[in-house]
Amino acid sequence: MATPPQRNKVFFGTFVHSKTLAELEYLHNTAIAVNATGKIVAIEPDHTSLDSALFSLLPKLNWTADSVSATSTASPSHFFFPGFIDTHLHASQYPNVGIFGNSTLLDWLNTYTFPLEASLSDPAKARKVYTRVIRKTLAHGTTCAAYYATVDVPSTNLLADLCLSAGQRALVGRVCMDQLSPSYYRDESPEAALSATMESIKYIEGIDPAFDIVRPVLTPRFAPSCSAPLLQGLGKLAAERPDLPIQTHISENKNEIALVKELFPPSATGAGDDSYSSVYDAFGLLTDRTILAHGVHLSEFEAELIAKRGAKVSHCPCSNSAITSGAARVRWLMEKGVTCGLGTDMSGGYSPSVLEAARHAALVSRHVAMGGDDAAKLTVEEVLYLATKGGAEVVGMEGKVGGFEVGMEWDAQLVTLGTVGEDGGVGDEEDGNVDVFGWESWEDRIAKWVYNGDDRNTRMVWVKGRLVHERK
Ligand SMILES: O=c1[nH]c(=O)c2nc[nH]c2[nH]1
């Protein structure tokens, strides 16, 4: 299934993206040229119109006018923004969003999660769920998602097929788990888990050999679900396959941490201590390709170890609040040198939106601040960095997606906010859920979007230059 052939494209208007963790860059009256393979090949600021940009760009790029399609918006309430990167979510749990009652992690897994995931070995059900979650996340501007599927190989492969045909960039993980779940939902043995994982890796290599859009990811569910031989086998595979990322959960919930200490004492792992991070480290799974979801209760020692290994943390604030896991200290992690991104963690998290995760990240950081560390507060600029450039680093795609620079790929969204008319009614633009009165600075508009925006503001979405969603 090859990506359909594309035309060259020129986009004109306001572009907003993260320059650094602390700073957004605003490029007004700017044209960005994207070639037929989806790469940004030119960025030209300070044009008076699309026509003037085309007049300048086409000869430079050796493009004819009829080889180019243009998307232009000069409205002060429209802007292009990099596509969001969801660094942690369970595609298989999408039907359960919002269904968690008063549960916490370990009972939530048994009550809500394992039965649903197991039921997705029905191919018709899996197709329905995966089609829907891809559509929904694209509609929220998620151009790249690090997905957990299930234990089942055919439906995991189906998820990869569906991401590829929808054009959503994805890491697709067959879930490895050979212990502590009901017998109807687990790998039969470490060998069976490794062979099923290889089967899925081979399948994805077959459909997207260069991993242009979809890539397999080694996915030990979390330490309690995996026997020592399984973790060891996955560590060996990770060493043999440096092209594959690894994803798992860490230190989300206090009972989970106690369980890990009980299951993996240093005598069983050979580690020098009994920390959760050292378990993954002992099995060769704490690497610079590892995405660790949650990291709520990490110790000083663990944060330092994670930073030293170059492993990344997917911060999942919506989930951490919903199933009462705790408030992760993101500023502290970043100051320790740990790269962080954002995850919706559906369905521990109830929302498919990375913008919502950004908002929760800002709010949870204020709860951390209320505990006495005022510097913990994350700004609008910082949570948007985590949602884009930080996320790109977490999934191993830094320099490729997450921003607007020559050489990067065009993974982007067109965001439209609603203008308010002279009489207080609807202005030139559609009636949006974010009202722009016209006197706000661009910084204010972006803040209003972060705190009030949703998929109604996500007008168009592109991945690698291809239009993958348009809101009518
Ligand atoms: O939020 C979570 N969701 C899960 O599915 C899971 N499995 C292990 N640990 C987990 N945490």
Pocket of ligand 1 contains residue 208 by CB under 6 Å: no
In terms of domains, do 75 and 89 share one?
no
In terms of domains, do 20 and 91 share one?
no
Mean model confidence pLDDT for the chain:
96
Pocket of ligand 1 contains residue 252 by CB under 6 Å: yes
Local confidence band at 405 (pLDDT 50, 70, 90 cut-offs): very high
Say yes or no to pLDDT of 427 above 90. Answer: no
In terms of domains, do 113 and 204 share one?
yes
Q: How many CB atoms lie within 10 A of CB 84?
A: 30
- Expressed in angstroms and rounded, the spacing between residue 182 Cα and the centre of ligand 1 is 15
Q: What pLDDT was estimated at residue 5?
A: 73
Local confidence band at 381 (pLDDT 50, 70, 90 cut-offs): very high
CA–CA dist 412, 140 (Å, integer)? 11
Q: What pLDDT was estimated at residue 433?
A: 85
Mutate-to-test residue for ligand 1 from 96, 249, 316, 319, highest number of ligand atoms within 8 A of CB: 249
Say yes or no to pLDDT of 132 above 80. Answer: yes
Domain boundary among 360, 394, 428: 394
In terms of domains, do 67 and 101 share one?
no
Say yes or no to pLDDT of 1 above 60. Answer: no
Note whether residue 443 is domain-resident. Answer: yes
For Cα atoms 253, 247, 464, give the angle at the middle one, nearest 5 degrees: 130
Pocket of ligand 1 contains residue 90 by CB under 6 Å: yes
Domain boundary among 370, 394, 418: 394
Note whether residue 202 is domain-resident. Answer: yes
Say yes or no to pLDDT of 215 above 70. Answer: yes
Containing 122, the helix (H) or strand (E) segment is none
Say yes or no to pLDDT of 386 above 60. Answer: yes
In terms of domains, do 300 and 413 share one?
no
Domain boundary among 394, 414, 439: 394
Measured by CA distance, the residue closest to atom 7 of ligand 1 is 221
In terms of domains, do 388 and 432 share one?
no
Mean pLDDT along residues 137-150: 98
- CB–CB of 364/353 below 8 Å? no
Pocket of ligand 1 contains residue 152 by CB under 6 Å: no
- CB–CB of 58/398 below 8 Å? no
In terms of domains, do 56 and 89 share one?
no
- Expressed in angstroms and rounded, the spacing between residue 316 Cα and the centre of ligand 1 is 11
In terms of domains, do 389 and 413 share one?
no
Say yes or no to pLDDT of 32 above 70. Answer: yes
Domains: count for the chain: 2
Q: Which of 221, 170, 140, 136 is nearest to 395 (CA)?
A: 170
- Which atom of ligand 1 lies nearest, measured to the CA of 117? 5
Note whether residue 216 is domain-resident. Answer: yes
Q: What pLDDT was estimated at residue 315?
A: 99
Q: Which domain holds residue 272?
A: 84-394
Note whether residue 3 is domain-resident. Answer: no
Q: State what percent of residues in the chain have pLDDT above 70.
A: 99
Residue 93's CATH number: 3.20.20.140
Name the one residue in this structure whose structure tokens are 């700073």: 23
Residue 448's CATH number: 2.30.40.10
- CB–CB of 251/320 below 8 Å? no
pLDDT digits (tens, 9 = 90+) for 67-115: 999 999 878 889 999 999 999 999 999 999 999 999 999 999 999 999 9
In terms of domains, do 134 and 48 share one?
no
pLDDT digits (tens, 9 = 90+) for 225-261: 999 999 999 999 999 999 999 999 999 999 999 999 9
The ipTM is 0.98
Note whether residue 2 is domain-resident. Answer: no
In terms of domains, do 211 and 233 share one?
yes
Task: Enter the tokens of residue 140.
Answer: 């929220």
Please tell me whether residue 264 adopts helix, strand or coil conformation: coil
In terms of domains, do 350 and 308 share one?
yes
In terms of domains, do 355 and 461 share one?
no
Note whether residue 1 is domain-resident. Answer: no
